């Protein structure tokens, strides 16, 4: 099948150094720090207090809000602190710190859910604590329960993994193929979606081959190799490539009959329905020019990133920048005490050369940022308005449609910090809307 693809995009160096690194289990850290918000939506309220003992899989945070998911302990041990911390951005989040006892005693509440209807399936997914494991952190039970007037005909499984360095989803495809397929079958069965399409960039031929073999006798699941082009893995881009449909500005994939899940998310669905163990661990790619031994590691959620880097052999040089996620869309961390969270798919440590922020020059109006923007925006105009504090005019330029992929900044010969400007502009509009 030939695909049309999406507009724009760039070709950053792949740097997939850990593709052939089988996942290694890290084990129990000295402590875990578990934030009460690891998802898009309402903050969870703490269910434990300092001095309490907890078990693996126990609910330690929850919310009555629909757009939210419970948070579980990844270890057994003693709660040593419940306090606010800055995790990312500038807003403090309540975190629960736990000192493990090394026993990993499992909570009595951990048992396979009873699923016999769409409603019980959606409830089970919420109870599992699952959010999008591709990096967005959107509660999966909300995604699986679109508005009643939405006619979903295609489940799209995202295995593109287009960011440089990151190979955690590739290892999911290679090491957990059966659960990926079983998870897809479960989603199709309980949501009533008739078919699924798995999209993987063609720089991962072994994953494509393995998944095609796994579904060769399944009529309603297909695997498709896609052109390697960043940001192929962005939800709207993947929908455009695989189906030719365009999600209108301000709309969700359900508006065009699609539902998108990450390969690790559907694999987790299969595992949870069998075991009842909620989301307490994550496969993370550890790489970068300062890392001694790049590898893929299975990490307990809440593990401080400093311990993860130590497990991978430490640093060959002092990192100038530590990033959670990929180099295009990841978040720079101010401390190695920040924990691994549900949506963490990579930890990068970059040396002085790779981590240096280039000096901005004057925009030369070359138009490269426009030509590569997959959302057909005018990044240089948005940047100009933000620099001039003219936030009221940003709506005219559809700034909220930006997916913050970073293509514009990557291709800019003047090294303009276009993505940062767009984020500032979007934040200004959100603050204005709240007022």
165 and 268 fall within a common domain: yes
132 and 270 fall within a common domain: yes
Q: 3-state class of 246 per DSSP?
A: coil
How far apart, in Å, are the Cα atoms of 118 and each of 67, 141, 390?
18, 11, 48
CA 83 from centre of chain: 25
Round to whole Å and give the CA distance between 32 and 280: 11
User: Is 126 within the bounds of a domain?
Assistant: yes
User: Is 327 within the bounds of a domain?
Assistant: no
Round to whole Å and give the CA distance between 273 and 264: 14
Over residues 279-318, the pLDDT tens digits come to: 999 999 999 999 999 999 999 999 999 999 999 999 999 9
Backbone phi, psi, residue 344, to 5°? -75, 120
Supply the CATH number for residue 186's domain.
3.40.50.11540
| Of the residues 243, 275, 307, the one at which a domain ends | 275
User: Is 390 within the bounds of a domain?
Assistant: yes
CA 95 from centre of chain: 20
257 and 131 fall within a common domain: yes
User: Is 106 within the bounds of a domain?
Assistant: no
When divided into structural domains, the chain yields a total of: 2
Could you read off the pLDDT tens digit of each residue along the chain, which spans 435 residues? Answer: 556 689 999 999 999 999 999 999 999 999 999 999 999 889 999 999 999 999 999 999 999 999 999 999 999 999 999 999 998 766 789 999 999 999 999 999 999 999 999 999 999 999 999 998 977 789 999 999 998 889 999 999 999 999 999 999 999 999 999 999 999 999 999 999 999 999 999 999 999 999 999 999 999 999 999 999 999 999 999 999 999 999 998 889 999 999 999 999 999 999 999 999 999 999 999 999 999 999 999 999 999 999 999 999 999 999 999 999 999 999 999 999 999 999 999 999 999 999 998 999 999 999 999 999 999 999 999 999 999 999 888 889 999 999 999 999 999 999 999 999 999 999 999 888 887
| Of the residues 220, 242, 275, the one at which a domain ends | 275
User: Is 196 within the bounds of a domain?
Assistant: yes
The helix/strand count (H/E) of the chain reads as 13, 17
128 and 266 fall within a common domain: yes
User: Is 186 within the bounds of a domain?
Assistant: yes
- Domain range spanning residue 172? 118-275
Residues 184, 263 contacting (CB under 8 angstroms):
no
Q: SS3 breakdown of the chain: % helix, strand, coil, rounded to 5? A: 30, 20, 50
156 and 258 fall within a common domain: yes
306-311 long-range contacts, CB within 8 A, separation 24+: 306/336, 306/337, 307/26, 307/29, 307/30, 308/26, 308/284, 308/340, 308/347, 309/336, 309/347, 309/349, 311/26
User: Is 336 within the bounds of a domain?
Assistant: no
122 and 269 fall within a common domain: yes
Structure tokens at 239: 């929908």
| Of the residues 209, 241, 275, the one at which a domain ends | 275
Mean confidence (pLDDT) of the chain: 95
CB atoms within 10 A of CB 218: 13
Over residues 74-94, the pLDDT tens digits come to: 999 999 999 999 987 667 899
268 and 385 fall within a common domain: no
């Amino acid at each position: 099948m030939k695909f049309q693809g999406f507009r724009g995009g760039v070709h950053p160096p792949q740097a997939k150094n850990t593709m052939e690194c089988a996942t290694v289990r890290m084990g129990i850290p000295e402590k875990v720090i578990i934030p009460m918000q690891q998802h898009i939506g309402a903050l969870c309220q703490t269910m434990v207090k300092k001095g309490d003992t907890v078990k693996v899989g126990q609910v330690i945070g929850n919310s009555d809000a629909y757009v939210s998911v419970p948070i579980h302990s990844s270890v057994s041990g003693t709660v040593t602190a419940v306090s606010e911390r800055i995790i990312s951005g500038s807003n403090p989040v309540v975190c629960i710190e736990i000192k493990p006892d090394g026993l990993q005693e499992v909570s009595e509440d951990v048992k396979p859910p009873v699923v016999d209807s769409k409603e019980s399936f959606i409830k089970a997914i919420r109870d599992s604590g699952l959010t999008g494991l591709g990096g967005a952190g959107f509660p999966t039970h909300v995604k699986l329960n679109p508005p009643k007037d939405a006619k979903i005909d295609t489940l799209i499984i995202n295995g593109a993994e287009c960011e440089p360095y990151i190979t955690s989803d590739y290892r999911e495809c290679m090491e957990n193929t059966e659960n990926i397929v079983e998870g897809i079958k479960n989603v199709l069965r309980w949501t009533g979606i008739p078919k699924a399409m798995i999209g993987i960039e063609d720089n991962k031929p072994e994953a494509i081959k393995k998944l095609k073999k796994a579904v060769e006798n399944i009529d309603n699941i297909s695997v498709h190799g896609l052109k390697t082009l960043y940001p192929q893995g962005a939800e709207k881009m993947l929908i455009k490539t695989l189906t030719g449909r365009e999600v209108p500005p301000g709309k969700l994939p359900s508006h065009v009959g699609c539902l998108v899940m990450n390969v690790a998310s559907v694999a987790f669905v299969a595992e949870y329905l069998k075991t009842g163990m909620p989301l307490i661990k994550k496969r993370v790619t550890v790489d970068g020019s300062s890392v001694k031994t790049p590898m893929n590691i299975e990490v307990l959620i809440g593990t401080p990133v400093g311990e993860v880097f130590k497990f991978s052999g430490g640093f060959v040089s002092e990192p100038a920048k530590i990033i959670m996620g990929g180099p295009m869309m990841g978040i720079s961390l101010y401390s190695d005490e920040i924990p691994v969270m549900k949506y963490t798919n990579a930890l990068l440590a970059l040396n002085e050369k790779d981590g240096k922020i280039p000096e901005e020059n004057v925009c030369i109006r070359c138009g490269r940022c426009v030509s590569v923007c997959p959302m057909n925006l005018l990044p240089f105009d948005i940047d100009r308005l933000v620099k001039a504090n003219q936030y009221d005019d940003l709506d005219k330029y559809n700034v909220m449609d930006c997916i913050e992929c970073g293509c514009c900044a990557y291709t800019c010969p003047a090294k303009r910090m276009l993505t940062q400007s767009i984020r500032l502009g979007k934040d200004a509009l959100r603050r204005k809307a709240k007022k």
